[in-house]
Structure 1
Amino acid sequence: MNHRLTADDDGDGCPPNTRVDNAGAVEYWNTVRPNISGMLGGYPEISRVDLLSSQSFLAKVRRLFPSVGGIAVAASVQLPLLSLGVDCGAGIGRVTEGLLSKVCEVVDIVEPVEAFARVLREGKLKAEGKVGDIYVTGLENWIPAKRYGLFWIQWCLLYLTDDQVVHFLTRCKDALSESGIVIIKENINTLPHDSFDPQDKSVTRTEQKYQDLFEMAGYTILRSEEQLGYPKHLHLFPVKLFALRPN
Structure 2
Amino acid sequence: MHMRRDDLLERMDAIGRLVATKEGTLMLLALGSIGLETDRLDDYSDLDFFLIVEDGYKARFIDNLDWLAVEPLAYQFQNTKDGHKVMYEDGIYAEFAVFEMVEMPGIAYTPGRVVWQRDEALDTFATPKVITHPSDAAHRYEEALTNLYVGLLRERRGEQLAGFELIQVSAVNNVLLAYGETSDPFNPTRRVEAKHPDVITFLEQGVLGYGRSVEAAAVILEHIEARHSVNAVLKREIERLLQA
Please indicate the TM-score interval, normalised by the length of the shorter structure.
under 0.3
Compare CA radii of gyration and give the structure with the larger one: 2
Task: Tell me: higher relative CO, structure 1 or 2? Use CA pairs within 8 A at least 6 residues apart.
Answer: 1
TM-score, with structure 2 as normaliser: 0.24
- Structure with the higher strand share, 1 or 2: 1
TM-score, with structure 1 as normaliser: 0.24
